[in-house]
Structure 1
Amino acid sequence: MLEAFFSVVADYWLTLISIVLLIIASGFFSGSETALTAASPARMHTLESNGDERAGVVGALIKRRDRLIGALLIGNNLVNILASSLTTSLFLAVFGDSGVAFATLLMTALLVIFSEVLPKSWAISAPDRFAMFVAPFVRLFVAVVGPLSSGVNAIVRGILAIFGVNLSREASMLSAHEELRSALDHLHREGGFKKADRDRMGGLLDLEELEVSDVMKHRTVMRAVNADDPPEVAVRTVLESPFTRMPLWRNSTENIIGVVHAKDLLRALAEPNVEPENLDIVKIAQKPWFVPDSTTLKDQLNAFLRRKVHFAVVVDEYGEVQGIVTLEDILEEIVGDIADEHDLEIQGVRQEADGSIIVDGSVPIRDLNRALDWNLPDDEATTIAGLVIHESKLIPQERQAFTFYGKRFIVMKREKNRITRLRIRPADSVNLPAE
């Protein structure tokens, strides 16, 4: 039988060469599909801008990803089927009817190793470089097979439409912001992106989702100047404050009549014959700017830059004052906490020796997540106290404890209906006694 095999091989040498070339072509199609699918559009755009023509070809191919993949799949299946058919015919001539089984086993092994695993592993190890290498050849193939691929895709869309599945050529399952966020998280997990850099980029992406009410200083903690105070008291209030700008109110803290800038105050005091006792602070106050609490941070940032103003008073839909927002509040959402020599040292978060965290109830959830790399939700509440109230569906008592989102929350202090201090520890420490 061995002599018969070599005799057939001698007669079918052209067939053997064809099979080998078809397996190589199958590997080319598989590797090209993997590389072009995994290639970074941003990287290709950068290389194209630097004059790399092959990167431009890759970019043009992946813009019509459905047409590209369809053409590569057609080519891959075509060569696989042809290689299997030739191998089967060759083995039938040598082994008779049992040749079908031998051909199936052999081609399965060859195609899996040399047409799938090997080329795809090679391509995924360096997708950008691999994609640029194969792009010129793939472009020629897509130009020939592209119309057939488009027809196949049209048939597929028609069949899926019958079952209520609509495919869009342009629409992605993820928005551009979600794709960027996923990429940042992936790079951070892989060690290619530092946490601080990921947080800054993530904060920038959050500007369109967050509202002014999420970052404002609430009126309960707002530092303001009473216009009815004696002038020297008002001056001392401004100069002793760590803030450059302070709202000016009269009769009620919700009746904001102006904004006092420390520089304007100092300029006024520098005028001849002007003393703190005879200074009219209302005259040097700037006109207040009121903004809705539902304004997105992106829109508010643009408004700050457009108006060249750093301070705004936040009101709700009824015109009631809710708090104040500054340009620094928005920038801190991007770069993290911005501290200077005049900022207060107490930030409301303290690490204890036992691993627990003591937190003021007014600390924003986003600040905790950013500082401790937690993932507490901030959709329904802005502060950590608000989260506990939302999840517990009640106003907790002191020493009352709750467990959710993998954390144990213990109420340490409450003033009237406000939770002012909490202890937070991992949920696996629930066996520890409550405060």
Structure 2
Amino acid sequence: MSPLAIVITTLILSGFFSGLEIAFITANKLRVELKSNQGKRWARICSGYLKNPSKFISTILVGNNVALVIYGMFMEELLRPTIESYVGPVPALIIATLISTLVVVVTAEFLPKALFRLNPSGILSVLIYPFQVFYFVLWPLVQFVIWLSNTILSKIFKSDFTEQTPQFSKVDLDHFISQSSHNNHEGEDNEVDTDILKNALDFGNVKVRDCLVSRTAITAIELSSTVKELEQLFIASQHSKILVYKDNMDNIIGYAHHLDLHKKPKTIKSILIPILITNESKSANDMLNEFSLTQKS
């Protein structure tokens, strides 16, 4: 293989490793795990590396450094004879170093990272397979690098290094929703209902007042009504719970649950469940937690 072909090949490999590194870092971890649970092979491979990122990063570093070393050797062989015909050996070495550095920074660093960042999940779904080949080829070197780094951390810096299982945060969910919404806008098929996820994400900012309904929209029954009337109201409204008032709608005293009708009650009062009293400025999330603690709904 000619020196020029080797230089081009090593530049492509360096760009491959550099771009794949940024794709791995910027890819939405939650989306990868969801795709993995759906049985996507590429996502299962990526999920394994997410649980043990040192293997991925070490392979990237080893592969990139090997490619750059070979690139530097053959790039100098290409440039120096031509440059030395115009200047001395020392200036030629400096100029060759500057040119080779500029070429590798632009073509194997900036461009791949900028391009791979545009669609990291899509890039990983394709390029994770050739990466697997490089991982197995470089496995002895990768294991040595991992062992050496762990030894330095534990023996010199007295640090106990352990891999941490990735934890998904609100930021990951927000990123996942943004990507899913973007796919919807572009007309791509998306099985995710982003509206539900957005509402769940924003639920922490919702107040009780935001959950109130108008008085005319309330379905309720008077305490003195018969159980038969309550049963008919359940059927007509399709609600699982009916509010109960005394004398007028402004005096809500509790609610009845449709499951309690199986107890064959004689009066509504016998199955009446007390309601919680709160203020409208309370957080809806706190209210939901209070419902859970008191086993109310």
**TM-score grouping bracket, smaller chain normalisation:** 0.5 to 0.7
Q: Is 1:246 the equivalent of 2:248?
A: no
% identity of equivalent residues:
17
Q: Secondary structure at the match of 1:169?
A: coil
Query: How does 1:365-404 map onto structure 2 within 5 Å?
Result: none
Residue 127 (structure 1) shift:
0.9
Larger proportion of helix: 2
Query: How does 1:37-186 map onto structure 2 within 5 Å?
Result: 37=25, 38=27, 40-42=31-33, 44-45=35-36, 49=39, 52=41, 55-88=43-76, 91-92=79-80, 95=84, 96-120=89-113, 123=116, 124=118, 126-141=122-137, 143-147=139-143, 148-149=145-146, 151-152=148-149, 169-172=164-167, 175=169, 177-186=170-179
TM-score (norm 2): 0.59
Where relative contact order (Cα < 8 A, 6+ residues apart) is larger, the structure is: 2
Deviations 1:170-210 (A, max 9, x none): 355x61x441223213432562589x942212234566x58
Are the equivalent residues in 2 in contact too, given 1:226–1:249 (CA < 8 A)?
yes
What is the Cα-based RMSD across aligned positions, in Å? 5.4
Q: Number of residues paired by the alignment? A: 263
Structure 2: segments with no counterpart, 5+ residues: 279-284
* Map of 1:187 onto structure 2: 180
Are the equivalent residues in 1 in contact too, given 2:21–2:57 (CA < 8 A)?
yes
Q: Secondary structure at the match of 2:271?
A: coil
* Map of 1:259 onto structure 2: 256
- Aligned partners of 2:94, 2:149: CA distance in 1, in Å? 32
Larger proportion of strand: 1
Q: Secondary structure at the match of 1:247?
A: strand
Query: How does 1:265-414 map onto structure 2 within 5 Å?
Result: 282=268, 286-288=271-273, 290=275, 297=288, 312=296
Which amino acid is 1:200 matched to?
Answer: I
Q: Secondary structure at the match of 1:259?
A: strand
- Aligned partners of 1:69, 1:303: CA distance in 2, in Å? 49
Which amino acid is 2:124 matched to?
Answer: D
Task: Summarize the Cα distance change of 1:142–1:45 in structure 2 as closer, same or farther, 3 Å threshold.
Answer: farther
Residue 74 (structure 1) shift:
3.4
Structure 1: segments with no counterpart, 5+ residues: 1-12, 269-279, 305-311, 313-324, 326-435
Q: Secondary structure at the match of 2:96?
A: helix
Query: Which structure would you say has the larger Rg?
Result: 1
